[in-house]
Structure 1
Amino acid sequence: MAALLAAALASGGTYAATHDDSSGTAAASAGSTTVVKADPADFADAGTVNWSATAAKVSPSVVSITLKTSSGGDQGSGVILDTKGNIVTNHHVVADQGTLTVTLNDGRNYEATVVGTDASTDLAVIKLKNPPSGLKPITIGDDKKLVVGQPVMAVGNPLGLSGTVTTGIVSALDRPVSTQQSGGGQGDQGGSPWSQPQQSSEVVTNAIQTSAAINPGNSGGALVNGSGELIGINSSIPNAGGSSSGQAGNIGIGFAIPTTVVKLVTNQLMTKGKAQHAQLGISATTGQVKDGSATVNGAQVAQVNPGSAAQKAGIKQGDVIVALGGDHVDSSTSLVGQVRECAVGQKVTLTVVRDGKRQNITATLGADTSSS
């Protein structure tokens, strides 16, 4: 459905955005750009990439997904994970009850079933009922090696046009995107209204922002680097017009879920059918704090839950968390997105400003029981 995202930018401006396959509603908050140092061997200039070779390598690993329901249906994209027929896509692509059909790159159609879904990260795994031999799984890359300006390719099923590839660059990294799914609107392919699952919840991701053209139907498709390695799953696009009617399209801004999150969640879905998420155990708001002679943004702790990882580590109400594992935290949404990338039981170093002074605190993340 062409449902809206109300997106609150760091500058205070707002715009609307949609999931790129037409399902769901979201609010996207734009944080700071993270630039990482990469080995030159990991970075390919757009002029040196053979995009034809990259497309030929990746396209057999990307599929079209059609969901038929009693009231209509919709389409999205997916990426083959293994030769057993496991495919990753977005939760909002397959959330409704219905019949799933997967179309391979060569045009063959197969029925599929849902292995597990995770509304908290907007990820899902489906599996072909009778997978053929010769399936080509995607090669999974490391999103932590990405740099801003690096060329990338999006592969998917926009507007029902299977096997479409577009190129662009990494526009920003660790862009906090908060998506709240809700009902309303019509399907991309002119179908009936797309109802949302009751367990729908806020999806917070520190996303990869890309200029590669992403349009409705790309949800669940691949974002790859010049070597054809998966570095993200395409998930949402903004709608600068802010109209609840009509259909959002590419405006040079798209968001993808990084492979750090994809691997963490899909491994759990394939083995357990559900995903468990790490939790710090605080309530926080976006705040500012004096840090030396400067003023910086961070996640200001409003409440510490009794018995939580934060309490055990010594986090106090009023602390402002400005980094996690050395990565800058400039908002409460940014903090949630970074915790989403961590596993239950993982030790993390939090940099907090307390009484005007920085200090590092080590916390062992607990389990978010509400997501299990």
Structure 2
Amino acid sequence: MTEPQRPLRIPLEEVAVVPAQSMDTARFTPPPASRAQESHRGRRGGPGWASLILAMILAVLVTLAVVFGVWGAQSPFATAPAMTGGSSETTDSEPADVVEPVEATEGAPDWQAVAAAVRPATVSILVEGATEAASGSGVIIDSSGHIITNHHVVSGAAQGGNITVTLHDGRLYSATITGTDPTTDLAVLTLDTPPTDLTAALLGDSSTLEVGQPVMAIGAPLGLADTVTTGIISALDRPVAVSSSADSAAQAQTEVVVTNAIQIDASINPGNSGGPLFNAQGAVVGINSSIASMGSSSSEAGSIGLGFAIPVNLAKSVASQIIETGSAQHAMLGVQISTSSVLVGEDNRLGALVATVNPGSAAEAAGLIQGDVIVGINGSSVTSGPSLTGYVRRYSAGDQVTLDVVRNGVQQQVLVTLQQR
């Protein structure tokens, strides 16, 4: 395997904080006087006042040192020890250091502070499969060395191969696939021998995002690790359909990945896949997954300001299932759908036309019929078939959702309990 290209890096100033040291709490006791001293004191007819006063002063000073030493270690003003170099006293039972939120600033975000804070939680990924090689990015999520990335980044090694993860400081580690989910194009890797000084990303809440909000992407576009780009959220819940190759070597099947994605104008290119998308406080809000391209093939793809990220709330759900069980389960409505327009009162609007209702499905149990047009789910507008699919895949089997359904020109609400896909 060729040695991965080391990224150019701008040194950042670090201020080390010295931790409060524990104090020896043993009581100070002056040494016993010798017989000669006692005899001498007896002849003088009084105690050794200078010695007694000195002993009392020392005892008071030691007691105060102990009190202030303990208070300093427990005080809310005490600062945690700084992580320096590549070593740490963190044990396997302790949680990883988590990226500290960057304080909000007036005006433009402080992207320098954000980049400095989050870079330790980002990684580059090199995959060497049996017949192909691929590269991408990822984000560390815990002290066990679990990393979220895209399924399409690591799928080439699903049937055997080598995965090498490069940390932000250039250290190399081998990794294995914990599990993948082609349905959402997400995967979880685990470092084979994770170091004790990992920094985990701060995972945010994608449900609070707004159009126009500033964001930052970090990844390895075209193999250039630690590349930072910034932009804004151009749209939310953008239905994006991408073909994803199946893991099975026995069949060359593909599955269409449909995601109601975060659309961004931050520049991302091949190699950014699987990397994190951050908000201005340094919290992960998405996993970069795909781009729109004017080219006719992936080899001609390049940034044209239309990038897409998987919302972090979906990524968190899928990753937790993969870590716990090795796979992820998804909800299913049980209909065949297409995009259509429908007349609601005097207004024409887009929605998802129900072409077929599967027997025994959640849709049949809820009373949906052929010809219904679904225009909303749990308060969110449905404007196409892929839009409905993207929303349903955010839920789990057993979840109840309220559908806005237009039937014979009349809009009504239908409560559906989703089934397992």
Give the TM interval when normalised to the shorter protein.
0.7 to 0.9
Checking the alignment, whether the CA contact within 8 Å between 1:95 and 1:196 is kept in structure 2 is no
- 1:367 and 1:107, CA in 2 relative to 1: closer, same or farther beyond 3 A? same
Structure 1 runs of 4+ off > 6 angstroms?
43-46
Partner of 1:69: 129
TM-score (normalizing by structure 1): 0.81
Checking the alignment, whether the CA contact within 8 Å between 1:177 and 1:206 is kept in structure 2 is yes
Is 1:109 aligned to residue 172 of structure 2? yes
Q: Between Structure 1 and Structure 2, how many residues are aligned?
A: 315
From 171, 175, 178, the counterpart of 2:241: 178
Checking the alignment, whether the CA contact within 8 Å between 1:45 and 1:151 is kept in structure 2 is no
Partner of 1:7: none
Give the whole-Å Cα distance in 1 for the aligned partners of 2:251 and 2:228: 30
- 1:199 is displaced (CA, Å) by 5.2
Is 1:88 aligned to residue 145 of structure 2? no
Give the whole-Å Cα distance in 1 for the aligned partners of 2:149 and 2:298: 26
Paired letter, 2:317: L
Decide which structure has greater helix share: 2
- 1:111 and 1:246, CA in 2 relative to 1: closer, same or farther beyond 3 A? closer
Which range is displaced more, 63-72 or 335-344? 63-72
- 1:221 is displaced (CA, Å) by 0.2
From 305, 324, 348, the counterpart of 2:377: 324
Give the whole-Å Cα distance in 2 for the aligned partners of 1:294 and 1:207: 27
Partner SS, residue 199 of structure 2:
coil
Q: Write out per-residue CA displacement over residues 345-370 of structure 1, whole angstroms, 9 at most, x where no aligned residue.
A: 101000001111111111010001xx
Partner SS, residue 201 of structure 1:
strand
Give the whole-Å Cα distance in 2 for the aligned partners of 1:166 and 1:227: 15
Paired letter, 1:239: S
Partner SS, residue 200 of structure 2:
coil
- 1:72 is displaced (CA, Å) by 4.4
TM-score (normalizing by structure 2): 0.72
- 1:95 and 1:219, CA in 2 relative to 1: closer, same or farther beyond 3 A? same
Is 1:234 aligned to residue 320 of structure 2? no
Checking the alignment, whether the CA contact within 8 Å between 1:46 and 1:150 is kept in structure 2 is no
Paired letter, 2:311: P
Bigger RCO of structures 1 and 2 (CA < 8 A, at least 6 apart): 1
RMSD, matched Cα: 2.0
- 1:71 is displaced (CA, Å) by 3.5
- 1:360 and 1:72, CA in 2 relative to 1: closer, same or farther beyond 3 A? closer
Paired letter, 2:404: T
Decide which structure has greater strand share: 1
Partner SS, residue 156 of structure 2:
coil
From 225, 229, 232, the counterpart of 1:166: 229
Partner of 1:21: none
Is 1:79 aligned to residue 136 of structure 2? no
- Structure 2: any 5+ residue segments left out of the alignment? 1-102
Give the whole-Å Cα distance in 1 for the aligned partners of 2:132 and 2:359: 47
Q: Write out per-residue CA displacement over residues 235-286 of structure 1, whole angstroms, 9 at most, x where no aligned residue.
A: 001112x333742111111000001210121111111111111000001111
Give the whole-Å Cα distance in 1 for the aligned partners of 2:322 and 2:253: 16
From 116, 122, 141, the counterpart of 1:56: 116
